[in-house]
Structures are given as structure tokens and as C-alpha cells.
Amino acid sequence: MRRLSLRAVLLGLAAPVGALVFAAAVCSVILVVTGHSPADVVDSMSASLDRPRTTVIAVNNATNYYLAAVAVAIGFRMNLFNIGVDGQYRLAAMLSAALAGASFMDGLPSVLRVALTMIAAVLVGAFWAGIAGFLKVTRGVSEVISTIMLNAIATALVAFLLNPNRLAVLEGNDIHTPTITSGGQVPGIPYSGSSTEVHGLILVAVAIGVLYWFVLARTRFGFDLKATGLSESAAVASGVSVKKMVLASMLLSGAVAGLVGMPELLGGAHSYSLNFPPGIGFIGIAVALLGRNHPIGMAFAALLWGYLDASSNGLDVAGIPKEIVAIMQGVIVLSVVVAYELVRRYRVRLEQREVGKALGTIKVPEVVGS
Amino acid sequence: MSSIAVELTGITKRFPGVVANADVNIAVRAGTVHAIVGENGAGKSTLMKILYGMQRPDEGTIKVDGAEVAFHSPADAIKAGIGMVHQHFMLADNLTVLENVVLGNEPRAGGRLDFRAARARIKEISDRYGLGVEPNRLVDDLGVGERQRVEILKVLYRGARILILDEPTAVLVPQEVDELFGNLRELKAEGLTILFISHKLDEVLSVADEITVIRRGTTVATVSPAEVTARRLAELMVGSALPVPELRESTVTDTTVLDVAGLTVTSADGRTVLDDVSFTINAGEVLGIAGVEGNGQAELVEALMGIRPLSAGTVKLRGKDINRMSTRDRRDAGVAYIPEDRHRQGVLLEATLWENRILGHQTKKPNVRGPLIDRRAAKADTQRIVDQYDVRTPSIDVFAAALSGGNQQKLIVGREMSGNPVLLIASHPTRGVDVGAQAAIWEHIRRARAEHLAVLLISADLDELIGMSDRLAVILRGRLVSYCDPKTVTPEDLGSAMTGAGEEVA
């Protein structure tokens, strides 16, 4: 049924495109009501696209957001809400930064240093998410609650460790982990016309995306994950151990979350300080929703988000409050969730009708209830 | 003759692809207990949700006390004097009875909560209907029967004159059932109208003034308990199907495939739902389990599949103890499973047919190669099942939700018969499927038996049980109470054994 699958693609696009149009309309109304011209906003935002530096920042933002979105999506695929990506990546970035900046690392070959840093981040992220997974499996604690609380604990833990007596150094007024020397850094990719470079670890984000697709679509583990997400009772009857799946997907989600801070740490900041970008975990939730947990969909969503954030700075210059971008992002997320559900129901009904037509029969009414 | 309190005319409710209720007609006289009986899945609950405003009918009218109404939410139904006592209690354990009753309907006096007035009203209601509810007790301290009375009081407090009780006896022990029935008679004597939903026929016969039978989503008869027996009711509920289930010559061998001894299962709330169940099934034999639904059949199947933990007992498959095996290991050891509720346990509705072919067989060829899914082989094998088992579908790439129930079931049967199983657990294999699919599924079970599978058949369809079984066991309140010979037993005998009416059958 090629026909059906082509239409499935169109239906899949209908929801995000519709949500974007709706969000643009809502923002236009808000702008007009507050006495700004929507045309100015469009001008300013599209003008910023022409500046190479904005493009690079947008792509770098998108790299971080994409990794966070994949981390969230792994949980989403089986109805597990890892709200704790934020705490997981911050703790992972901080601890791996301390490791990467440690003086004994100086003597090691560059590849090994970078690899060790990233492995440390992955392990810390997995461990931190694993706590929530463990609590859910053994004590039935909702992962929503536990990951939110673990976020708060991570914040406190980072603040505690980021102290000259512990893992940080004081440099002027700035407290940060020891700066990673050049051998432990990942070089950027130059982009003509911009002094800022594209993070080299964008390749890791791409690799994670491919891996995510492969595991979900092609492996037994991915099948079990998807089955659990679609119907836990059917998955259990098919022999899936839901507890094992919960733990495994929390660990994987946390592992990817651990990587979220890496492009920035190894490609830009070179140390973990109080200025390290916060909140990427929450953006990841929005991006995963917009991209519908799809590896390519999330890439587009991450780029859109990254671009919206990068171009918002130009708005202030044009005299338009840049908060309009946050409003736009919020409206997109809310409307896309509604739109996806509508499209999903429509699609199921449409296919039932199609099949009925193709068989030349009206479906035998079946009884459900109770 | 009293007036009509509730009248449902021509109620039809469709869900995507299925019809839950079709042309339902019920008239409930005021001041009576009116029972609605039918098998699980016959559409009773959907109907009550419609009457309580939780679902809106696609067609048909609802009249309350003679006036036509259209409910948009339970709040509308409550306003019209309809209250619902749910099967699962909706009480906050750490609040008192008083607090639970007023929750969401708090009495105010000058901006403050007026507990005194509420307490007095609760006392008054409790005394009038003999409910014996103490407003100041903590719900946590109450037993199941008392909690149910609090639920009833809650709807009375909101002014209900018509009460819907959804399977109220499911959670009660026999003494509590007697007490509940006493309460119901008092409510009736005070002029209240009660809709009583159940599939336990002996209870219905003892408490109801009128009984409406629902089968496959539609009302098939309204009878008076005086002029009907449990057997007759069971027949009405199950109906008689056109194709005749029957076995050919015996294929029973003397190799024991499944050996269950002393199986005991306790539910989460501490009730014993399966009590010391023992049986064996040999290769080439079909053991039928007869029983009114809710007597432990579902728990038996889940215990055998490793979904539900045992409190005691052993399960051996071909002489090997499988007690500690996971569901997946049991499936790998050759247990095939046709679940009772295919939408809940049998298929992934929003996955393609070939993905559903993999479900439950994620470890087996041709679906997988090592840790990877072998899409091509899985699809090819799905096509084989579609062809061999006559699954009517235009493609194997459509969602399972797009197929009719019968075709979904044929896909499940085909899937479960793949991979050389040694034991087939078939739970209501022909429920909710059309007559053609029913005959086909019976043929597949016969073939499985001829190929020396051991088959455990659980069904509510007595003709199916009698026709398809080599041996029949009757389950009642979690115990296997008797065995019958399917060659000589009649549906009437079986029906009375199932309801516990006559313990000595055949």
C-alpha cells in the first residue's frame, strides 16, 4: 500500500506545519495588540539568518538541543517521562569537566582524553537517571517526580562541588573547573564569515541520531521498547519484562543526556562554570514533542529551536521584546501536541475506512466494552 | 404498576471500527431493582457510561422520569438524579467518611464549611436506608463492604434517585453480598430505582425484579426472575451460534504436557482468587474450563503464562518445572497464547500486521536474526499467515486497528500456531468474532489437537466448550469443583454446575 504510506508522510507533516502556522498567527496577534509590527519581526529574524555567526550559533544550539531531545525521546517511546535530562547533563558536564581538566590528563593522547571525558559524562548521566529507574522498578516511584527531585539535587550537588576547596578553581571572580588544555579539547569546524566555529561534536549528535534510529527500528530491544510504549499489557503478554525495559531505557536516556553538555564543554567553554548553559534538558522535551520522537523530525525541530533562540537577540536591537520568541515556542509546543493527537485519530479512522473499502465489505461490527 | 424511571430507546454507540451498543432498549420501572446481565465485553459498561453521561450515544434517546434528557457529563446525570457506584471505589483513604462524602460538594455556611449540617444529613440518610455508616470514621479503617456503603451514601447525598451499581459484588465476600442485597431492598422500599450490572446469575436472580440480557451489544430479552432459571439466563447471555463445534476421533496420547498441581493465587488485596487448582493436559487433548466469568479463569491463564505470581503450587511443562520462568522463557519453551482480551493483550492496535506478527515471538525465527529484527523474513511470514489463515486484509502494512475483530483474531491464532508450540492456551478464542471466523478458529484448534498439541480452552460459550473439549472441568470461586464428560453433558447441566446450583453433575 504505497498510497497509504505517502499519505502517512503528508499526514505526519500536517501537524507540525499546522502548529507553526497557528503559533505565527497567535504571535502576530500579540505583537499587534502590544503595538509592534509583525513585519518588523519577520524582517529582523530573517535578516539574522544572513549573518553567518547567527547560523553557527543556531547550529550549535541545535546540536545541544538534539542530544537532549534524543535523551527525552528514548523515554517517551515507552511512555516514560524523563524530566531529569536537565540535572543529568549538568551533573555529567560538571564531573567530566573536572576530570578532563585534571592535571594528570595532560600526558595522555588527545583522542583518549576526549574519549575518557565523554565516557565519564555518559556514565554519570546514566547513573543519575538510573536512580530514578531503580526507584520506579523497585518502589513504584513515578519517574516524573523522582527526576524532578533529582534535578534539584543535581543543582545543589553541582553548587557544592563547584568550590575552590573541591573540584573548582577561583580565577578572578569566576569559579570554574580547571580549564581543559588544548589536548583535551575538540576542535571546531570553521564556517566562512564567522569567527565562531561549529562544534566538532556535532558529528556525535549525528551519530547518536543514527544509532537511535537503528536501535528503535531494527533491533529486538527497539521492538520491545516500542511495544511497551504502544500497549504495556500486550507487551507483558508477549514476554517483555517491563521492569527491565524501564531500567534499560532510563539508563540509555541518561547516557545520552550525559552527552548533552559535551559539545559546549569540549568545543566552546572548556570548563564548567556558573555560566554553563542551563535548561537544555527542558528544551529537549519541547524538541522531542515537536519532532515526535522521530530522529529526523527532532533534527528539524532542534534546528528550528536553535534558530529561534539565536535570532531572538537581534529583536532587541529592532526594539521588539525578544520574549516574543519564548511565546512562540510555547504556543508551538502546545498546539503541536493537540495537532498530533488529532492527526493520529484521523489516521486510524481513515485507514479503517480504506481497508473496509479495499475489501469491498463493511466491517463486521465487533463488540467492545466493559 | 409503577411508572418508568429510566427509558433507553434505540441506543447505539460506535467506537472507531466497532459497535459497542446497537439498538439497546431498556425500560426500568421506578422503585425496582433492574439487573443488566451479559458477558464481559457484551457492552454493559458502555451502556452505563452512556446513562451516566460519560459517553454520548450516537443514536437513540434517554428518558428520565418521562422527560427526554441529553447528558454531556456525569454532572448532568447527577442533576437528573442518577448516581453511579463504581466497581472500583473512589475514596480517599486518609479522609473521614464525612470528608469523603462532601468532597466536591462541600456544604457552606457564610463562606465556611458547614460540617455540622453535613454530618446531620449523612446520619439521616444512613439511618433512613439502614446503611450504618459512621461519618467520623477514617475510610482507611473500613472494610470493603463498608466502603461500598460509603460510596452508595455518597451518591444518595448528592440527591440520586436512580442508582447504577457496576458489578457491585465483584469485590465482596458472600456475607457482604447478603448485606448489600439487604441494603438494596431497603433503598427499593424507599422508592429508589436501582440498575444492577452483573454477570453472576445466581445473585441477579435473588435480588432483581427484572432482568435485561445484553449480548453482543444489543438487548436480547427482558425477563422476570420468577420465570427464568440460571441456565436459561446463561443461554440467553451466550446465545447459540450457527457453526457447530465438534471434535472428531480422539487424538489423546499418554504424554503429559502440562501438569499443574496445587496452584494458588492471591490477588493484590489479599483474596484467594485461585485455590489449590490441579490438573493435567496430555498431548493431543483439549481440556475445557467452564465457569461463569470472574471465577478465576483469567487468573489461571495469567498464572500459567507467568504474568501473575503464584502463592503456591507448581506448573510443569513436559515434566520440567517452569514456575520460575519468565513469560518470554515460557513462550520460548513452546507455550502459545490466545489472550482473552485481544485489544489489551493480543495485538498492538497502532502497529502494522507484520509488527504484530513479531509480537510475542520477538526471540524466534523468522522474526529475528540475533539481536536484530529481520524485517524481510518477518514480512514474508506474515504474508504466509495472512494467506493460510484467511486474514482478510489488503496489505500487511496496515495497522491492526484497521481489521475487524475476527481478522485480528485469525492473525493472532496464525501467529501463535507458528513456531511449533507444545501447549496452546486459548482464552475465549472466538469471543466477539463473526460466525465465519469462529468456524475457522475452531478448525485451527482441531488441527492443533491433531498435531498433538495440548490445549487449554477457556470459554463462556457452552456449546463451544462441550463441542471442542476432550475433558471439561468446572471452575467456581477459584476452585475446580467438578469434571464432566463433554460427550454426555448438556449445556443445562453445565450451566447449573457453573453457578454452583447442582454440585453433582455427570
Average pLDDT of chain B to the nearest whole number? 86
Chain-chain contact of A370 with B40 (C-beta, under 8 angstroms): yes
Per-residue pLDDT, A4: 52
Per-residue pLDDT, A362: 40
Using CB atoms and an 8 Å cut-off, which of residues 299-358 of chain A contact chain B? 344-345, 348-349, 351-352, 354-355, 358
Chain-chain contact of A367 with B432 (C-beta, under 8 angstroms): yes
User: Rounded to whole angstroms, how far apart are CA atoms A75 and A250?
Assistant: 7
| SS3 assignment, position A66 | helix
Per-residue pLDDT, A232: 92
Chain-chain contact of A237 with B360 (C-beta, under 8 angstroms): yes
* Mean pLDDT value across residues B111-128: 85
| Domains of chain B, first to last | 4-238 (3.40.50.300), 243-334+453-506 (3.40.50.300)
Per-residue pLDDT, B366: 87
* pLDDT 10s digits, A263-309: 999 998 999 998 899 999 999 999 999 999 999 999 999 999 999 99
**How many pairs of residues across A and B have Cβ atoms under 8 Å apart?**
167
The nearest alpha carbon in chain B to A358 belongs to B394
* pLDDT 10s digits, B245-293: 666 677 888 899 999 999 999 988 888 899 999 999 999 999 999 988 7
With 0-12 / 13-18 / 19 or more C-beta atoms within 10 angstroms meaning exposed / middle / buried, residue A283 is buried
State the cell numbers at B219. Answer: 438487548
pLDDT at B455 over 60: yes
- Which residues in chain A have Cβ-Cβ distances shorter than 8 Å to B346? 234, 237
Nearest CA distance, A93 vs chain B (angstrom)? 32
ipTM value for the complex: 0.85
Per-residue pLDDT, B38: 80
* pLDDT 10s digits, B339-390: 988 888 999 998 999 999 999 999 888 888 889 999 999 999 999 999 998 8
Q: Which residue has the cell 515526535?
A: A292
**Of A5, A237, A364, which is closest to B434 when you measure between CB atoms?**
A364
**Of A1, A345, A367, which is closest to B397 when you measure between CB atoms?**
A1
Per-residue pLDDT, B506: 39
Chain-chain contact of B402 with A354 (C-beta, under 8 angstroms): yes
Nearest CA distance, A366 vs chain B (angstrom)? 5
Per-residue pLDDT, A353: 75
State the cell numbers at A261. Answer: 553538555
CA nearest to B396, candidates A73, A358, A18 = A358
Nearest CA distance, B366 vs chain A (angstrom)? 13
User: Rounded to whole angstroms, how far apart are CA atoms A78 and A227?
Assistant: 8
Per-residue pLDDT, B246: 67
**Of B328, B355, B402, which is closest to A239 when you measure between CB atoms?**
B328
Per-residue pLDDT, A230: 93
Q: Which residue has the cell 578572578?
A: A172
- Which residues in chain B have Cβ-Cβ distances shorter than 8 Å to A8? none
HEC profile of B439-456:
HHHHHHHHHHHHCCCEEE
Most confident range, picked from B90-94, B172-176, B371-375, B494-498: B371-375
User: Rounded to whole angstroms, how far apart are CA atoms A164 and A175?
Assistant: 7
State the cell numbers at B348. Answer: 498492538
Chain-chain contact of A227 with B397 (C-beta, under 8 angstroms): no
**Of A221, A224, A369, which is closest to B46 when you measure between CB atoms?**
A369
How many CA atoms lie within 13 Å of A164's alpha carbon, on the beta-carbon side? 7
Q: What is the pLDDT along chain A (370 residues), one digit of tens a residue?
A: 344 567 777 877 888 888 889 988 998 999 899 888 888 888 888 888 888 989 999 999 999 999 999 999 999 998 999 999 999 999 999 999 999 998 888 889 999 999 999 999 999 999 999 999 999 999 999 999 999 999 999 999 999 999 888 888 888 888 999 999 988 899 999 988 888 899 999 999 999 999 999 999 999 999 999 999 999 999 999 999 999 999 999 999 999 999 999 999 999 899 999 889 999 999 999 999 999 999 999 999 999 999 999 988 888 888 888 888 899 899 999 998 888 888 888 888 887 777 766 765 443 344 443 3
- Which residues in chain B have Cβ-Cβ distances shorter than 8 Å to A348? 16, 349-350, 399, 401-402
Chain-chain contact of B394 with A223 (C-beta, under 8 angstroms): no
With 0-12 / 13-18 / 19 or more C-beta atoms within 10 angstroms meaning exposed / middle / buried, residue A358 is middle
* pLDDT 10s digits, A163-207: 888 888 888 888 999 999 988 899 999 988 888 899 999 999 999
User: Rounded to whole angstroms, how far apart are CA atoms A126 and A170?
Assistant: 29
User: Rounded to whole angstroms, how far apart are CA atoms A223 and B435?
Assistant: 34
CA B385 to chain CA centroid, Å, is: 29
pLDDT at B430 over 90: no
Q: At what angle do helices A280-290 and A85-101 cross, to 10 degrees?
A: 130
* pLDDT 10s digits, B296-330: 888 999 999 999 989 999 999 999 999 889 999 99
Chain-chain contact of B398 with A4 (C-beta, under 8 angstroms): yes
Q: Are strands B479-484 and B320-321 parallel, antiparallel or unpaired?
A: unpaired
The nearest alpha carbon in chain B to A344 belongs to B350
- Which residues in chain B have Cβ-Cβ distances shorter than 8 Å to A361? 392
**Of B41, B361, B392, which is closest to A369 when you measure between CB atoms?**
B41
**Of A222, A363, A369, which is closest to B404 when you measure between CB atoms?**
A363
Asked whether the beta carbons of B34 and B7 are under 8 A apart, the reply is no
Instruction: Choose, out of B337, B359, B393, the residue to mutate when testing the contact with A (most A CBs < 10 Å).
Output: B359
